[in-house]
Structure 1
Amino acid sequence: MLNQAIKTAEEAGQKILEFYETDLEVIEKEDDSPLTKADLAAHHIIVNALKEIDPDIPVISEESGIPDYEERKNWDTFWLVDPLDGTKEFIKKNGEFTVNIALIKGDKPVLGVVYVPALDIMYYGDDTIGSYKREGDSKAEKLETDTFKNTGPARIVVSRSHGDDNTQAELEKLGIEVSEEVPSGSSIKFCLVAEGKADLYPRLGPTMEWDTAAADAVYRYSTNSGEKYSPLKYNKETFKNPYFLLGMDEFIDLE
């Protein structure tokens, strides 16, 4: 399934790039987030491809809506997709947008693919082989990084489009000193922690499960054995994630 998901993410990414250099028509969704034809085109490519892999596995995409909890609460396995994460970055044309495909079992992602089409960077991982990063045609490199132990200052990932001046202050309350802020867009933020370019990703703002699932899988399995701790759970009654701090071995309450 992983190889098929990687291929599907690449196909969706190439379709997105066809729109990237054009004048974009932007529609505001009900939650005031932007939507473009690229989002919808990628959505159809991914959903159709995943149905071909196994028509019995349900697919939830950001652009298809969320089934009622009564319908999905007993699902053991389902695909969770964000066809174009970082639409604001896509509109700004800064390259920091991604295609996200995750496979959820129970309440966690067991497979995740994060493709950055403008940079031709692929992050992927699952609970059997671990996590990898591939740039262009180069050989994929295994991601094996340690969690943050708070024995010194931390490099933190911050959102390029959703800045929060309170983040450093909140971390200082927890006894975490910040040495550097690493700005990034979309789900790339998780991947920067997974590959060791940042220590922590504190999120003091709203996200949905499809925003995080694929990159969360890349982070969880970016270790030489087993699985890293993640504070996030999936297929909740509400699809909204709580505030979270990614990169440590324990739950840290940011609410």
Structure 2
Amino acid sequence: MLNKICQLSYDAGDIIMRIYKDNQFFSISQKVDHSPVTLADIEAHKVITKGLKKISPEIPILSEEDPPFWEQRRYWKTYWLVDPLDGTKEFIKRNGEFTVNIALIEEGKPVLGVIHAPALGVTYMGNVDKAWKQQDGHKTQIQVREARPPLVVISRSHADVDTELKDYLKRLGTHQTIALGSSLKFCFVAEGKAQLYPRFGSTNIWDTGAGHAIAVAAGAHVYDWQGKTLDYTPKKSFLNLGFRVSLF
């Protein structure tokens, strides 16, 4: 199953990169919530949903680009959670830090995750208690790693306006920071490059599902600020509370 989902993320990534490199098709519009959406978001969504229906026709799909109504999904126990193009702002800025996110949710928990960064040529994947990174044809198992001082990964697009984050970092003590876009922040903790990813601003469940699965598979913890693990049991709202990804 994991290999099939990886291949599907590559297929979506190919479509995204075709549009990324061709300014003729690089159109940008806004959703109802004023967040940006591009042709790449839509086309990647089509590729992924078509592929998932072939792989597992019995499992419903929740994609950012076509979220089902509450009455359709309120009793789901198992479902695919998809962000066809995570980091649309990074895509528009053309800095390469955008990803394809696909997660499998069972009983409110992400049990499988794939994050593919097509512009960077790297893929992260996790399943139960093992996680891997694939780059340049090499697939290696990854896991969290302690370091002093810790490296804290923060959002490239939101950190400058997040006063809660600034206050938190002041209290943290000696540390270093690095700013990244999209769900790559989860991946940096999962592979041991960073030790902490704190998030105070709002996210949606499709922003975190795949990264959550990979981070946990690599030995990390993903908790909200009340100490509870993020829960993906269907709710009317798609919003997450703030959270942290850490070694402890």
| Superposed pair shares fold, TM > 0.5 | yes
- Amino acid of the structure 1 residue aligned with 2:127: D
Which amino acid in the other structure matches residue 141 of structure 1?
T
| Contact kept? 2:110, 2:212, Cα under 8 Å | yes
1:13-48, CA deviations, whole angstroms, 9 ceiling, x for partnerless residues?
001000012222100111111111111000000000
Q: Show the 5 A alignment for 1:10-89.
A: 10-23=10-23, 24-68=26-70, 70-89=71-90
The answer to which structure has the higher strand fraction is 2
In the alignment, is residue 202 of structure 1 matched against residue 211 of structure 2?
A: no
Any gaps of 5 or more consecutive residues in structure 1?
Answer: 250-255
CA RMSD of aligned residues (A): 1.7
Aligned partners of 1:155 and 1:236: how far apart in 2?
33
Distance 1:73 1:96 in 2: 33
Shift >4 Å, 4+ stretches:
none
- Structure 1 contact 154–177 (Cα < 8 Å) conserved: no
Q: CA deviation at 1:136?
A: 2.4
Asked if the contact 2:108/2:232 (under 8 Å) is kept, the reply is yes
Encode CA deviations 1:196-247: one digit per residue, 9 max, x unaligned.
Answer: 1111101111110000101111101013xxxx43222113412101011111
Aligned length: 237
Secondary structure of residue in 1 paired with 2:206: helix
CA offsets, 1:152-197, max 9 Å, x none? Answer: 6432111111124531422444xx2241111100000100011111
Identity of aligned residues (%): 44
TM-score, normalised via structure 1 length:
0.88
Could you tell me which of 218, 222, 230 is aligned with 1:222?
A: 218
Counterpart Cα distance in 1 of 2:186 and 2:144: 13
Q: Secondary structure at the match of 1:140?
A: strand
**Alpha-carbon distance between aligned partners in 1 of 2:208 and 2:125, rounded to the nearest angstrom:** 13
Task: Choose between structure 1 and 2: higher helix proportion.
Answer: 2
CA distance in 1, matches of 2:221, 2:245: 8
Q: Tell me which residue corresponds to 1:234.
A: 232
Match status 1:193 vs 2:192: no
For the residue of structure 2 that corresponds to 1:82, the secondary structure is: strand
Given that 1:200 and 1:248 are in contact with CA atoms closer than 8 Å, whether structure 2 keeps it comes out as yes
The answer on whether the counterparts of 2:222 and 2:243 sit within 8 Å (CA) in structure 1 is: no
Q: 2:75, 2:139 → 1: CA distance?
A: 36
Residues 1:179 and 2:175 aligned together: yes
